[in-house]
Structure 1
Amino acid sequence: MLEVALPDGRTYAFHTAVFDYNGTLAVDGLLPAAVKDGLIALAGRLRVAVITADTFGIARDQLRGLPVELVILAAGEGAAAKAAFVEAAGAGGVVAVGNGVNDKEMFAAAALSVCILSTEGASVPTILAADIVVPGPEAAIGLLLNPTRLEATLRR
């Protein structure tokens, strides 16, 4: 559980972090070592789920041995399936992290959304739907490992 109390009285109590994979955690399907380390640290605090269409077909291998739940979407599934996953996880306690068009709906469902603007880029509608935009997965994971960063960013 991760609790964040903001000076204006708003509070967040996160139990789950839901990540997109390609363009969010991985570049060209490959997961950097620093991201792997961050996911391990984060899994000590929250349930960590990765939900992906697995464009490159290697997400399972790249995430093998990490304490994360992997959901690979079937062909034709996408935005609605991601949002449904967030809802089923208890959306009020979910932080969603993504970058693509198919992440916008899960952003709307989650209590907090973080958009990654990295090598793959990010969908403008998804950026506009996000609560926070960061330059890479390490920064997104860092927000959750150091919740004072969230407080500083979200204060009014």
Structure 2
Amino acid sequence: MKIDIPNKESFELKNIVFDYNGTIAIDGKIIDGVSKNIDELSNLFDFYVITADTYGSVENELKNTNCKVITISKDKQDEKKLQFIKKLNPKTVLSVGNGRNDKLMLKESIIGISILQDEGLCTQTLLSSDILVNSIFDVFGFLKDKNRLIATLRN
């Protein structure tokens, strides 16, 4: 998806990277409707879920969802998430997260979205993001209608 934001550099959005817990899942359980939205948009974007899998449930919860699960170890999660974004090319990535371990990937991505849902939001992560939303479905709204994204980010 090509994004042209007035008075900013144009870019091609190709990769969507989600944190798992607090972002697309609450207490290890996928939020109803998330898999359906990912599947509907998977012909436009490559979806990734990067997580240390605190509850050990990510593989089972996403087994029938058109996304790639990236499981990382529990140490230095922020740096591992950042390195993953860099491998994808940050200028093609929209990332979404809520935890302190998400702040570096949100800052590095062309668009970083912090999310405030049931599990809360680290203020450092908020300050590293471009956009704050209160639901994962707001993110899907941006992906379905790029004009929402443009309206939020324009000068």
* Greater alpha carbon shift after TM alignment, 14-23 vs 69-78: 69-78
Distance in 2 (CA, whole Å) between partners of 1:108 and 1:8 is: 20
Please tell me whether residue 25 in structure 1 is matched to residue 48 in structure 2.
no
Q: Is the CA contact (8 Å cut-off) linking 1:5 and 1:151 kept in structure 2?
A: yes
Q: Which amino acid aligns with 1:124?
A: T
Q: Which amino acid aligns with 1:52?
A: T
Distance in 2 (CA, whole Å) between partners of 1:102 and 1:114 is: 14
- The equivalent residue for 1:85 is 84
Aligned length: 155
Q: Which amino acid aligns with 2:61?
A: Q
What is the aligned-residue RMSD (CA, Å)? 1.1
Residue 13 of structure 1 and its aligned partner are, at CA, apart by 1.0
The C-alpha deviation readout for 1:37-68, integer Å capped at 9, x for no partner, is 11112212101000001111101100001110
Q: How do 1:1-156 and structure 2 match up within 5 A?
A: 2-156=1-155
The answer for unaligned runs of 5 or more in structure 2 is: none
Distance in 1 (CA, whole Å) between partners of 2:109 and 2:88 is: 10
* Greater alpha carbon shift after TM alignment, 51-60 vs 28-37: 28-37
Distance in 2 (CA, whole Å) between partners of 1:53 and 1:76 is: 9
Alignment partner of 1:22: what SS?
A: coil
Distance in 2 (CA, whole Å) between partners of 1:123 and 1:75 is: 18
Distance in 1 (CA, whole Å) between partners of 2:18 and 2:146 is: 18
Distance in 2 (CA, whole Å) between partners of 1:26 and 1:51 is: 12
Residue 139 of structure 1 and its aligned partner are, at CA, apart by 0.9
Alignment partner of 1:115: what SS?
A: strand
Distance in 2 (CA, whole Å) between partners of 1:78 and 1:99 is: 13
The C-alpha deviation readout for 1:1-29, integer Å capped at 9, x for no partner, is x1111222532211101110000000111
Alignment partner of 2:54: what SS?
A: coil
Distance in 1 (CA, whole Å) between partners of 2:95 and 2:8 is: 22
